[in-house]
Amino acid sequence: MIQRTFNSSVFAGSVGYIGFLPKIPGTWGSLAALPVIYLASVYIHPLFGPLIVAVFFSVVTLLATPGMEKIMGPDPGECISDEFAGQAIVFLFIPIYTSWEYNLLVFISGFFLFRIFDILKPLGISALQNTDGGWGVLLDDIVAGMYAQMCLLFVIFIIL
């Protein structure tokens, strides 16, 4: 019989084991972050809500990554707390309105833009992964979130 022991780094870094969902853990993590970011935007503050989410999950990533890497190797895909932080960056300075149609379009657009930048890693994002430890895991998602945010602001200005 295999006995599994609880590991707080794995639990925190995988955000309650969401990172262990099959095939596409980063996408699952980004998707799971959306309700958290939305609720923080509505119930805390439109600006400070996403900022609090980004800072909180950045700290979680920096603290959990060393423990996860000891068990799973460098930059484990199951570590998705960085996806929560990066996805939250997308929605900084993005107005949240009471119209569910607008909010749905904004959040879907922000999700897809973040995933594009996070997966393709253009414009120097891929170089950030060479940074050691938790910073290498975190920085590429933060910058991907910044690029996605700029694109989302452009989309909102032009289309919405």
The answer as to whether 34 is a domain residue is yes
Q: Please, what is the angle between helix 133-158 and helix 100-120, to 10°?
A: 140
For 117, the domain range is 22-158
Percentage with pLDDT > 70 across the chain: 97
| Tally of domains within the chain | 1
Q: What is the pLDDT of residues 71-103, one digit of tens each?
A: 999 989 999 999 999 999 999 988 887 788 999
Residue 96's pLDDT is 81
Residue 1's pLDDT is 46
The answer as to whether 13 is a domain residue is no
Picking from 10, 133, 119, 130, the residue whose alpha carbon sits closest to that of residue 64 is 10
The answer as to whether 12 is a domain residue is no
Residue 130's pLDDT is 79
| 0.85 exceeded by pTM | yes
The answer as to whether 137 is a domain residue is yes
The answer as to whether 16 is a domain residue is no
Task: Please check the confidence at residue 40 and state whether its pLDDT lies above 50.
Answer: yes
The answer as to whether 26 is a domain residue is yes
Tokens at 75, concatenated: 């930059």
The answer as to whether 84 is a domain residue is yes
The answer as to whether 10 is a domain residue is no
CA distance 73 to 64: 13
